[in-house]
Amino acid sequence: MKTIMALMLLSMLAGCIAGAPELTPDQEKRLTDIKIFMSGTKPDKEFNPIGEISSADCSGPGSSRLYGDEGKAIDILKMKAAALNADAIVDVSCSSAPFVNNCWAAKKCSGKAVVWK
């Protein structure tokens, strides 16, 4: 029985994605300068990757938590990139993801935070 409960807990936690981080005033100023490059679109500058980042949104109408918004998920992605002092996010892709963060169909986005060379 303990094994079943532990597996259920792990499966619930696996579906969670951390929200937007706290930003310093300098990082908040950088938010508007962070460029987004969707998967298949290459930046015109050379870059060094910092790390993989992901986000999810579940802001359905009336706080219903039925589905997410791609634009809001990308905004959270930008906040995570700003927290890493990134200049851009490359290879961004978004899709619907069921049962993420207690949401019926969250919008999940991921990409690579990068700095320009």
Tens of pLDDT along 51-62?
999 998 888 666
What digits encode the pLDDT tens for the residues 68-108?
A: 889 999 999 999 999 999 999 999 999 988 776 677 788 89
Percent of the chain with pLDDT over 70: 75
What digits encode the pLDDT tens for the residues 34-44?
A: 999 999 999 99
Give the per-residue pLDDT at 5. 38
Range of the domain at 78: 2-116
- Provide DSSP, 35-96: EEEETT---SS-EEEEEEEEEEE---GGG--SB--HHHHHHHHHHHHHHTT-SEEEEEEEEE
Residue 37 is part of a domain; what is its CATH number? Answer: 3.30.110.70
Count: domains in the chain: 1
